[in-house]
Structure 1
Amino acid sequence: MAKHRFSRRSANRRTQLIGLTAALAAAAGTTTVGLASSSSGPANASGSTGLNPSQAEALTAARIDRRELGSRDASRIDLSLASTRKAAADAAAKQRAAKLAANASLAQRRALALAAAKAAAARKAAAQAKALAEAKAEAKAKAEAIRRANAAKAAKEKAEAAPRVVLPTTGYHLTARFGQGGSRWARDHTGLDFAAPQGTPVRSVMAGKVIQAAFAGAYGRQVKVRHTDGTVTSYSHMSEFDVSVGDTVKAGTMVGRIGMTGNTTGPHVHFEVLPGGGSPINPAPWLREHGVTP
């Protein structure tokens, strides 16, 4: 009896040991677990594995747990890899975005610099064009001023060179003309008679030199002036002399006054023009040629 109880206890212990071994084997990934048993032990209930149904279930559960643990580990690894890859992708995307932003900023700065350079060049060109236009205008104005000054100078020199001519008196009326006949003259009239009130100034018609200032018979008090071209002008019948022989006169210089000396019937000045000091010519055309009309 005691022997049979011991045998049963030994069998139970062996079964428990086998189950524990199977569980450990399952945890370690072992697919087949076998323990040596005594020849006197009972036969294995699970065939070649030597596991009873409870141990087989434990082994299956251990395998399932191991698979699930491996699956969870693989999932954790996949998630870790995915997270790492996502972080790397995010970092690369940020780098690309930063590079694109830097390129865009550089392009914008270059565009702004180019626009500024173009604007500066345009301003410089406009300033140069304005300066050139102002210089041209100034040069043109200076040239025009010089031209006008030269024209004025030439006109002045021409006016000074040309003999200035005035009429021999003022407030007059003509009472006799050149070539006019009459009983008062020994021959036809040799000049123009400018009748005016007694004492009216008589003037030299052009600049020249006095060559006569004396009483001349029928001509009464007479003054003669020789001009630069050799022409001599004569002023007769004056009441007085205001110049002497050798005096230099200008156009308009008073040489005497209207009178009635000599052969005359009223106060007037008898005016003659004698080219080269020779025979008298008609004074009217000569005066007109010199810019005055009697």
Structure 2
Amino acid sequence: MPKHQDAPNADRQASSRPAASRRVAKHRFSRRGFTRRNQLIGLTAALAAAAGTTTVGLSSAASGPGTSNTGTGLSPALADALVAARVDRRDLGSRDASRIDLSLDDAQKAAASSAARQRAEKLAANATLTQRRALALAAAKATAAKKAADSAKALPAAKAAAAAVAERAAIAKAAAPKIVLPTTGYHLTARFNQAGGRWAHNHTGLDFAAPIGTPVRSVMAGEVIQADWEGAYGRQVKVRHADGTVTSYSHMSEFDVSVGDSVQAGTMVGRIGITGNTTGPHVHFEVLPNGGAPIDPEPWLRDHGLNP
């Protein structure tokens, strides 16, 4: 087979060119082909290395000048390796992208899981707080109910106790004497209407002599209408009773009541003394019906069940 199929055309072109020009063109073509082969070999070697192939095959059929090279110059095995390398590179890129996507998905899932966990913890804390509040409220209500029940139970007992106290007071009041003598441990030293040089007029009451400091008592219940110094009577207390009668107690050493006080039979109004016009310690006792002129205390006391 001829070296070049288009030799006649080449001969004609060569005959029409100078010999030097043909040599320059030949050298250029050879250098260009050599450069392209080196580039192809480098690329093929790189692809083969990526595919795991160490043997590179290259056809040199078109090494001569004027040779036509219509293919890549790769052997079938190298071409298959090149294709496999391209496929592997594409798959590798796809796997890397998938890994990135999976990493992003994992991060998003982790963030979502953390947010869900935080929400769950917050809900659990709120539920616990609500439960504690409910328990505290229930305990407070139970305590209030117990107090109310205890009060309800105690109320009848308190009423009963108050009723018992009132009953005892009524009994004591009923049993209390309605009238008493003005003092104790005494002896009479002067009676009503008795004459003597110690008085400007006849004696107006009964003198109950007793040691200084002996209590002087109201003979009946009433209201204190006087507690003051009264001239010759010394310290004097007067008590008005329910029927209007006024009783008077004089020559006392002290007062134990004030005007306006309410007293009962036997309430101490003062103590025996020697104030005023007197020669010894005693209480001068008078009875004045409706607060008027004094009357004899002895029959009045007897009329009330007492014998002085």
- TM normalised by structure 1 equals 0.45
- TM normalised by structure 2 equals 0.43
